[in-house]
Amino acid sequence: MTGNTDGGGGFEPVDQDHRLGSLDERLQRLETSEAKRTGRGRPEADPNSRMANRVLADLIGGIAGGALIGWLVDKVFGTSPWGFLILLFLGIVVAFRNVFRLAGGAQPKAQDPASEE
């Protein structure tokens, strides 16, 4: 047993090894680069990006939904191509109506500084 002269059999405290600090720094850099690579820890998406995604989903969903339901109506009732065309047109109308509603609601309301008092 080396380093223990009091005869108590205990160990003396050891100062923190400088290699541990270096290891912690390297680990932090690796975790940061991994978070960037996988997209974790990323701030929320831009509100304009979310709005664009919603507009795109409304357009695709309305048109594709109308076309699919129209095709199914034609298959079931044998009304080809009228069910498809009518419901496709209705899907387009609904999709654009939703886009116009989103665009109208997206405008921020300008507040008059005098009205806040």
Measured torsion, CA atoms of residues 97, 103, 105, 109, in degrees rounded to the nearest 10: -150
In a domain, 89, yes or no: yes
Total count of domains within the chain: 1
Report the alpha-carbon distance of residue 5 to residue 9 in Å, rounded. 9
In a domain, 54, yes or no: yes
Q: What is the pLDDT of residues 14-70, one digit of tens each?
A: 666 777 778 888 889 998 888 888 877 666 678 888 899 999 999 999 999 999 999
| Global pTM exceeds 0.85 | no
Report the alpha-carbon distance of residue 76 to residue 66 in Å, rounded. 15
In a domain, 25, yes or no: no
In a domain, 69, yes or no: yes
In a domain, 116, yes or no: no
The domain containing residue 86 runs over which residues? 47-107
In a domain, 60, yes or no: yes
